[in-house]
């Protein structure tokens, strides 16, 4: 136990009450199912950027990431290299087009989006099963992490810690829906990055800046500052490097709880600001914790648990209240991921299961209430399972990311970039991506082959998508038109140009009228505009 004083309890209490307050506030503003499930599609660029990135980053960035660099040296930064550019790929490739297409198709959930873009009985069933199983695994993992973090840091008994941590997440998600999730993510994102930068600046001075850090590390063990990890343990393993970079560089485009953020943007035009804000935030929040793991090697050489390196640095370098805020930041990182997943579970169960299979004529109010009840039910069940912790639960959650990414990435990207992408390709990629990920993980093939589960899963999934789309029946003309329209590529009849010119320049219109009315063009063999 690192914290556990009155200050920590007070700061954490204020934070948790604040989160509940946000949930209560937005509960009053969610009038329709679109408000509740997608924030009424009026989320601005700053909010989109922060909710996108805080949802993507879990407590791993405060604990797992720094612990890895503490153990392996610079090599672990390959993960940061991928993660740092994730927003550029995610928003740049999907942002605008997915926002438009989801709006044209009238989708409220990322699974409904898949089904409408790739119509077919099997599509939604397969997508819903994969998403619900693995997003649920993710929710469970975050609840367990929240409980264990509070238990380890404050000394609160684990069952009570799980109930408090998960209870607050469930409450504000249940009450305020997407808007509460987005605004809590926004605050959590600021707390997370400020805490991280605060400790980093102080630790930076302690080690003598970047040059001082690297020189001392090299003196200690030259392989720590080398390309291939401590003791050159990954020498020449480019497959591992490609997997480490690729997982986070493109992986987020396959996560339903992340891509739903594009659907909630107020306008496709906000994507450009979102890219910049999210990328700057990424550089501060992603590279910094990994480098702090390296600083920990020098400043905390005998730490028992490397996962506590950031928090130990905070308690060593910061005064009491600020160190307690770092503790809150760790909880924020976990909660901002958990709330998005919980929200998605409610959306999928309400929209994709209840409205699709149980009550097709459900009213807006009914849909909102059912989604709320589903969030509550999933929350309660998750807390119970987290308290019991049956064997095997961790095995399910560790590969949730890879399985979701492998299953959905080609379908989400292909939906807006390849109008030929069809139902056969989508179903094939979901099944192949999911099965390969499970087999690869269950058989433990990642270690011997040096190929990350996500890496192999996504390659197979992309291949299945392309082959399936080429073999299967092409999408309807209407669907292809919609994809082109989402990309603003539909060819507009030339006759309309005249109409536009009239609006843009009266002088041009005058010239065109003259040309049409006179025989000047016809005499010279030109076709009229």
* Binding stretches for another protein (CB under 8 A): 74, 77-78, 80-81, 84-85, 87-88, 92, 96, 210-215, 218, 225-227, 268-269, 271-273, 275-276, 279-280, 282-283, 287, 485, 488, 490-497, 499-500
Closest to another protein by CB, 66 vs 177, is 66
Q: What are phi and psi of 265, to 5 degrees?
A: -60, 145
Closest to another protein by CB, 129 vs 210, is 210
Closest to another protein by CB, 95 vs 165, is 95
Closest to another protein by CB, 128 vs 224, is 224
Q: What is the closest distance, in whole angstroms, from the C-beta atom of residue 85 to another protein in the complex?
A: 5
Q: What is the closest distance, in whole angstroms, from the C-beta atom of residue 61 to another protein in the complex?
A: 15
Closest to another protein by CB, 167 vs 212, is 212
Closest to another protein by CB, 272 vs 365, is 272
Q: What is the closest distance, in whole angstroms, from the C-beta atom of residue 499 to another protein in the complex?
A: 6
Q: What is the closest distance, in whole angstroms, from the C-beta atom of residue 490 to another protein in the complex?
A: 6
Cα distance between residue 82 and residue 100, in whole Å:
27
Cα distance between residue 41 and residue 178, in whole Å:
10
Q: Give the three-class secondary structure for 63.
A: coil
67-70 CB contacts, 8 Å cutoff, 24+ apart: 67/293, 67/305, 67/306, 67/307, 67/309, 68/290, 68/293, 69/290, 69/291, 69/292, 69/293, 69/294, 70/293, 70/294, 70/296, 70/297, 70/303, 70/306, 70/309
Q: What is the closest distance, in whole angstroms, from the C-beta atom of residue 250 to another protein in the complex?
A: 14
Token representation of residue 366: 């009914």
Q: What is the closest distance, in whole angstroms, from the C-beta atom of residue 509 to another protein in the complex?
A: 14
Cα distance between residue 330 and residue 227, in whole Å:
29
- Going by the DSSP 8-state scheme, the letter that residue 301 receives in this structure is T
Cα distance between residue 405 and residue 403, in whole Å:
5
Closest to another protein by CB, 276 vs 431, is 276
Helix 320-347, helix 256-263: angle, nearest 10: 80
Cβ contacts of 417 within 8 Å, gap of 6 or more = 93, 97, 487
Q: What is the closest distance, in whole angstroms, from the C-beta atom of residue 78 to another protein in the complex?
A: 8
Whole-Å CA distances, 192 to 93, 187, 200, 296, 327: 26, 9, 12, 19, 10
Q: What is the closest distance, in whole angstroms, from the C-beta atom of residue 489 to another protein in the complex?
A: 8
Closest to another protein by CB, 353 vs 487, is 487
């Amino acid at each position: 136990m690192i914290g556990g004083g009155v200050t920590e309890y007070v700061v954490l209490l204020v934070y948790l009450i604040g989160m509940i307050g946000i949930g209560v506030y937005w509960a009053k503003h969610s009038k329709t199912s679109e408000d509740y499930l997608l924030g009424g599609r009026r989320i601005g660029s700053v909010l989109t950027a922060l909710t996108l990135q805080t949802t993507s980053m879990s407590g791993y960035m405060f604990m797992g990431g720094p612990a890895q660099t503490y153990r392996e040296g610079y090599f672990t930064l390959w993960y940061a290299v991928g993660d740092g550019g994730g927003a550029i790929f995610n928003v740049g490739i999907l942002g605008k087009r997915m926002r438009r297409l989801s709006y044209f198709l009238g989708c409220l959930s990322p699974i409904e989006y898949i089904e409408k873009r790739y119509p077919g009985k099997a599509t939604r069933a397969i997508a819903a099963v994969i998403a619900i199983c693995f997003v649920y695994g993710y929710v469970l993992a975050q609840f367990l992490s929240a409980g264990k973090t509070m238990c380890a840091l404050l000394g609160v008994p684990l069952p009570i810690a799980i109930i408090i941590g998960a209870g607050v997440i469930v409450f504000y998600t249940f009450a305020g829906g997407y808007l509460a999730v987005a605004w809590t993510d926004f605050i959590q994102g600021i707390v997370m990055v400020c805490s991280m930068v605060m400790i980093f600046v102080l630790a930076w001075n302690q080690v003598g800046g970047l040059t001082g850090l690297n020189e001392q590390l090299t003196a200690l063990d030259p392989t720590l500052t080398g390309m291939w990890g401590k003791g050159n343990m990954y020498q020449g393993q480019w497959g591992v490097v490609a997997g480490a970079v690729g997982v986070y560089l493109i992986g987020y485009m396959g996560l339903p709880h992340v891509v739903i953020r594009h659907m909630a943007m107020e306008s496709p035009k906000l994507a450009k600001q979102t890219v910049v804000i999210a990328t700057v935030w990424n550089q501060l929040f992603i590279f910094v914790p990994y480098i702090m793991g390296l600083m920990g090697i020098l400043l905390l050489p005998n730490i028992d648990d490397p996962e506590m390196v950031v928090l130990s640095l905070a308690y060593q370098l910061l005064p009491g209240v600020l160190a307690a805020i770092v503790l809150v930041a760790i909880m924020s990182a976990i909660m901002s991921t958990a709330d998005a997943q919980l929200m998605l579970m409610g959306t999928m169960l309400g929209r994709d299961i209840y409205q699709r299979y149980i009550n097709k004529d459900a009213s807006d109010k009914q849909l909102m209430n059912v989604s709320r009840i589903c969030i509550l039910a999933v929350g309660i069940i998750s807390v119970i399972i987290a308290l019991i912790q049956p064997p095997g639960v961790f095995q399910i959650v560790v590969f949730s990311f890879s399985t979701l990414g492998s299953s959905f990435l080609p379908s989400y990207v292909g939906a807006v970039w390849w109008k030929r992408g069809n139902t056969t390709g989508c179903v094939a990629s979901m099944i192949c991506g999911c099965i390969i990920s499970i087999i690869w993980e269950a058989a433990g093939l990642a270690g011997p082959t040096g190929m990350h589960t996500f890496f192999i899963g996504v390659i197979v999934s992309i291949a299945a998508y392309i082959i399936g789309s080429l073999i299967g029946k092409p999408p309807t003309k209407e669907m292809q038109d919609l994809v082109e329209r989402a990309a603003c590529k539909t060819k507009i009849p030339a006759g309309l140009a005249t109409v536009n010119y009239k609006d843009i320049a009266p002088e041009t219109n005058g010239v065109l009228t003259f040309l049409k009315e006179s025989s000047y063009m016809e005499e010279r063999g030109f076709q009229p505009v």
